[in-house]
């Protein structure tokens, strides 16, 4: 369906858990995290109901994210259920890759055609530092195995001043012989992200030019979402730019989000104000469709980054579902 600004909304992103097996420095604090209790999280049945009603409103793509979606023990059952919902054409997953390798066959056989894997560095020690303890080899093995299975891979990379800016070209070269999309995502001042200085995509482009890499700008495809893509001559992969901070992409926004605790978010950085969990748990399921419909229709025109507005989201990315 369309929202009141005429944007077609066909994509739902669901945070399956706020918990994570890593602690990336710009996403979660190292300790002192207060997580939702299990019963505060939406259960599989509740998520299924939300997706089923959303599909009736024209939602066609579901992304499962978090926190780390693969730490949720019952994720396989959930995917099995979503896979069978009429209207859902695509299931995708955003993951840090720590638990991915052993799940790939299952995901592949249950409609997961594309994976977004986070990788900010190619250096083992730096990966440990950024993620506070992650094993980069698990990510590498998952990428290679996914490609063999024919699953599309997008790598999400956040570049931070003084941490991984010096690796931009190495990361780009990772796509030379691999058919993957490497997307630079600008650091957003959300939660822990406020403590770091991100590198803008304009600066990254300048670094690419300074290194004399021959680039071609690719035509925008609606399926690319907020990413703009280029190709480097003779490279198999693509390079994408998601420029939330330097180039607002709200005009083409096609998505809603569901937080771990069941709030419908109309926009990434607006506070959540529609409690779908309450609607379901109070036994008012007949109102679920209408509630989601209102949420979609009333999506705000644009985000509130740096606007000092009281509606601005102050949760960390792991709760919202990045
Ligand atoms: N745990 C999974 C992962 O890391 O891919 C899924 C959830 S994580 C919140 C999703 C994405 O959000 C990751 O690619 C991460 O780099 C990104 N992210 C986290 N905090 C961010 C921030 N403040 N600004 C921009 N991206 C952020
Ligand atoms: Fe966990 Fe993903 Fe956040 Fe890293 S970015 S702490 S992997 S949720």
Kindly list the structural domains of the chain, giving each domain's residue range(s) and its CATH number in brackets, ordered by start. Answer: 11-320 (3.20.20.70)
Q: For residues 265 and 64, give the distance between their C-alpha atoms in angstroms, rounded to a whole number.
A: 15
Tell me if 253 sits within 8 A of 7, measured CB to CB.
yes
Mutate which of 15, 16, 118, 136 to test ligand 2's pocket (most atoms within 8 Å of Cβ)?
Answer: 118
Mean pLDDT, all residues of the chain: 92
Q: What is the pLDDT of residue 308?
A: 61
Average pLDDT, integer, range 62-69: 96
Report whether pLDDT(304) > 60.
no
Q: Report whether residue 42 contacts ligand 2, using a CB cutoff of 6 Å.
A: no
Give the residue-averaged pLDDT of 219-241: 89
Q: Is 248 annotated as a binding residue?
A: no
- Predicted local confidence at residue 239, as pLDDT: 97
Local confidence band at 310 (pLDDT 50, 70, 90 cut-offs): low
Which of 119, 158, 269 is the best mutation target for the ligand 1 pocket, counting ligand atoms within 8 Å of the beta carbon and taking the most?
A: 158
| pLDDT bucket at 177, cuts 50 / 70 / 90 | very high
pLDDT at 189: 86
- State both tokens at 316: 């960390």
Tell me, what's the pLDDT at 311?
62
Does 200 score more than 70 pLDDT? yes
Q: Which helix (H) or strand (E) holds 94?
A: strand 90-95
Give mean pLDDT, residues 200-225: 89
Cβ count near 151 (within 10 Å) = 19
């Amino acid at each position: 369906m369309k929202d009141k600004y005429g944007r077609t909304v066909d994509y739902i992103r669901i945070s399956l858990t706020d918990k994570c097996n890593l602690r990336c420095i710009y996403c979660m604090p190292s300790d002192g995290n207060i997580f939702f209790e299990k019963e505060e999280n939406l259960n599989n049945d509740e998520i299924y109901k939300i997706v089923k009603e959303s599909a009736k409103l024209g939602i066609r793509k579901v992304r499962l994210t978090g926190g780390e979606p693969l730490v949720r023990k019952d994720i396989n059952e959930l995917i099995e259920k979503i896979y069978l919902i009429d209207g859902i054409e695509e299931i995708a997953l955003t993951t840090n890759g720590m638990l991915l390798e052993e799940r790939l066959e299952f995901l592949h056989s249950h409609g997961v055609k594309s994976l977004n894997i986070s990788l900010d560095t190619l250096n083992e020690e730096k990966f440990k530092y950024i993620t506070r303890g992650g094993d980069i080899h698990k990510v590498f093995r998952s990428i290679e195995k996914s490609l063999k299975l024919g699953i599309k891979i997008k790598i999400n990379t956040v570049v931070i001043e003084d941490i991984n800016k010096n690796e931009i070209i190495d990361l780009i070269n990772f796509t030379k012989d691999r058919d993957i999309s490497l997307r630079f995502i600008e650091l957003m001042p959300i939660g822990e992200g406020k403590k770091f200085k991100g590198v803008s995509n304009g600066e990254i482009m300048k670094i690419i030019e300074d290194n004399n890499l021959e680039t071609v700008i690719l035509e925008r495809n609606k399926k690319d979402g907020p990413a703009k893509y280029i190709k480097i001559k003779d490279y198999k992969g693509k390079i994408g730019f998601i420029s939330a901070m330097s180039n607002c992409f709200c005009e083409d926004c096609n998505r809603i989000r569901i937080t771990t605790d069941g709030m419908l978010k109309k926009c990434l950085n607006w506070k959540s104000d529609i409690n779908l969990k309450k609607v379901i748990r109070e036994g008012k399921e007949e109102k679920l469709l209408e509630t989601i419909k209102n949420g979609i229709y009333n999506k705000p025109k644009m985000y509130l980054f740096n606007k000092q507005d009281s509606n601005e989201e102050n949760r960390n990315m792991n709760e919202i579902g990045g």
